Structure 1
Amino acid sequence: MKANMGGVDRVLRILVGIVLISLAATGQVGWWGWLGVVPLATGLMRFCPLYTLLGISTCPLKQK
């Protein structure tokens, strides 16, 4: 997997994921808050499968 996610995108995904998981764990939102695992995982891996399908890359570095 090549990194296809830039710094700002990565930080936002990690923050959104943590917030959603925290809200779900405290019972402030419903079960859908656990979907925060998806942006958290993609942010930590620096790879978004949807970006690959759409041919998008926000990563400033060229990958070989």
Structure 2
Amino acid sequence: MKLNVGGIDKVLRIVAGIALIAWALMGGPVWAWIGIVPLATGALGWCPAYTLLGMNTCPMKKS
């Protein structure tokens, strides 16, 4: 599993995921539990959709 989520993308995913989960916990709609997905992809640094689309927001590692 090659990392493909980095930088501000990672931070935004984690913040959005936490916000959606908090909303669900406070009585929001059931669909707000979808926040688990951006939280997990941000925490892991890997997004399967990015892999399928050939995208990468991780900074390139210098040799």
TM-score normalised by the shorter chain: which range applies?
Answer: over 0.9
Gap runs ≥5 in structure 2: none
Identity %: 59
Matched, 1:33 2:32: yes
TM normalised by structure 1 equals 0.91
Residue in structure 1 matched with residue 10 of structure 2 by the alignment: 10
Is 1:59 the counterpart of 2:51? The answer is no
Give the length in aligned residue pairs.
61
TM-score when normalising by structure 2: 0.92
Shift of 1:61: 2.2
Please give the per-residue CA displacement for 1:17-36, whole angstroms capped at 9, x wherever unaligned: 00000000010x20011110
User: Structure 1 unaligned runs (5+)?
Assistant: none
Q: CA RMSD in A?
A: 0.8
